[in-house]
Amino acid sequence: MAVRTQVKFYYDVLSPYAWFGFEALCRYQKPWDLDLQLRPINLGKIKKESGNISPGPCADVFKGSLFFPDVQRTSEMMELPYKPLKDFEESVFIKGSLPTQKTLAACQILYPDNMEELTRQSWLGLYSHDMDMTDKGNILQFAEAAQIPDVDKLLEFSVGNEAKQQLISNTTEALESKCFGAPWFMVTNPKTGRREKFFGQDRVEMLGWVLGKEYVGHHPSQ
């Protein structure tokens, strides 16, 4: 029996680039027989511990001049329904995503089969509908759209210590692998046993090269 390729994907819904990387890997799950394991992290903690400066428009005027058009182009290329936030600084740097990330960590424990769709609905909430990632009512909508078996149980669990510790564990695991941003993913090659690390949404083609798999663009199903 063939061994599937394990891919651990570390992400925070605050990053639009992580969304693009997530969707790219999801599209190649079946063609490349990937065992995609989603790991929500605290991106603020990652950046603080690694000393990385955010590429967002508020951190550096030169990087910022490219940020918005680059995200727009990437979303159009991948045919994802991205819409610019009305107030990027408030949504990303002030409000953040901690309650949503804790809910995703709770889902990782309680309903791992629903992780992919809850992750997707959370990103759609932020970058398609400009929804507050700290609002309980919004998170409830994400969970319902993802068809979580017991939404109330998930939300109650997400504010408990176990979900908090899971998020901390994911973040620590990422830091120990020298993660400095998102998306970050680690791949165990089933043929060689070697662990490869990748940063960025544009590394999926390189992943295919490493695994000896054919990359056929952003829409392999077409």
Q: What percent of the chain has pLDDT over 90?
A: 76
Q: Which domains are present in the chain?
A: 5-211 (3.40.30.10)
Per DSSP, what are the bridge partners of residue 185? Answer: 9, 198
Closest Cα partner for 40 from 159, 177, 163, 124? 163
Q: Which residue has the higher pLDDT, 52 or 56?
A: 52
Per DSSP, what are the bridge partners of residue 8? Answer: 37, 186
* pLDDT given at position 1: 53
Rounded to 5°, angle at Cα 114 from 83 and 155: 85
Tens of pLDDT, residue by residue over 142-191, are 999 999 999 999 999 999 999 999 999 999 999 999 999 999 999 988 77
Tens of pLDDT, residue by residue over 104-148, are 999 999 999 999 999 999 999 999 999 999 999 999 999 999 999
Tens of pLDDT, residue by residue over 3-33, are 789 999 999 999 999 999 999 999 999 999 9
* pLDDT given at position 137: 97
Give the C-alpha separation, 10 to 221, whole Å.
25
Rounded to 5°, angle at Cα 72 from 175 and 63: 55
Q: Which residue has the higher pLDDT, 55 or 110?
A: 110
Predicted confidence (pLDDT) at residue 61 exceeds the cutoff of 60: no
Strands of 5-11's sheet in order across: 34-40, 5-11, 184-188, 195-199
Give the C-alpha separation, 185 to 174, whole Å.
9
pTM of the model: 0.91
Alpha carbon separation from 83 to 51, 52, 74, 93, 145 (Å, rounded) = 29, 26, 12, 18, 19
Contact criterion met (CB below 8 Å) for 43 and 181: yes
Alpha carbon 48 to its chain centroid, in Å, reads 18
Contact criterion met (CB below 8 Å) for 146 and 139: no
